[in-house]
Amino acid sequence: MRRVVARFENGEDASDAEDDLREADFEPERPDIENPFFDPSARPPEARGLLWGGLIGGIVGVAVLLAMAMDMIWFPRLSPFLTAGRLTLVTFGFSIGVAVGGFVGGVWGMLRGVPDPEGPRVEVMVPDARVEDVRNRLRDHDATRVDDAVTHHGSG
């Protein structure tokens, strides 16, 4: 079984989607999710932190190792790295920068609060075989976001 949650711009579209799902023998409801981390339609804040932290860290890592290769800055213990070629230095600098920046960005994102969901939501429990049908029905009623999460596995 899957739990499909859709977000809408206005209540009229959400009501139309609920009516359509009832006609198709589903039981939609308006979810009351107190913790946004359990809402499959909420974007986790750490994702944005990981992306920007990784990109900025990668660029800084490349810049630092290239500056070391061109003798613009010097760190005594890191100088053996400079025996590598420039492509190796760029790759290594980018990799280390992405790892450090992604970690810092992810932690920063986790410290931020999860934004409150905007607009009404509709939730429906669906067997795995009918998930695409429900997702298409919700999109037909102008859902701005449709996500699902597995609730449990089993026959049914």
Query: pLDDT tens-digit profile of 50-104?
Result: 778 888 888 888 888 888 777 787 777 666 666 777 788 778 888 888 888 888 8
Asked if residues 115 and 7 have their Cβ atoms less than 8 Å apart, the reply is no
**Cα 70 from chain centroid (whole Å):** 38
Nearest to residue 49, comparing CAs of 94, 108, 95, 99? 108
Domain 2-42+117-150 carries which CATH code? 3.30.70.120
More confident residue, 116 or 19: 19
Q: What is the pLDDT of residue 5?
A: 84
Give the Cα separation of 134 and 79 in Å (integer): 59
Question: HSE of 70 in the Cβ direction (CA atoms, 13 Å)?
Answer: 7
Strand partners, 6: 122, 146
Query: Mean pLDDT across the stretch 108-118?
Result: 68
| pLDDT band, very low/low/confident/very high, at 32 (cuts 50, 70, 90) | low
Instruction: Please report which confidence band the pLDDT of residue 41 belongs to, taking 50, 70 and 90 as the band edges.
Output: low
Question: Residue 124 — φ and ψ, nearest 5°?
Answer: -150, 140
Model confidence at 40: pLDDT above 70: no
Query: How big is the CA angle at 103 (ends 102 and 105), to the nearest 5 degrees?
Result: 65
CA distance 19 to 27: 10
Phi, psi of 80 (to 5 degrees): -60, -25
Q: What percent of the chain has pLDDT over 90?
A: 1
Please state which of the ranges 9-13, 39-43, 61-65, 142-146 shows the lowest mean pLDDT: 39-43
pLDDT value for 55: 86
Distances (CA, A) of 129 to 13, 44, 88, 126: 25, 27, 48, 8
The CATH 3.30.70.120 domain(s) of the chain lie at 2-42+117-150
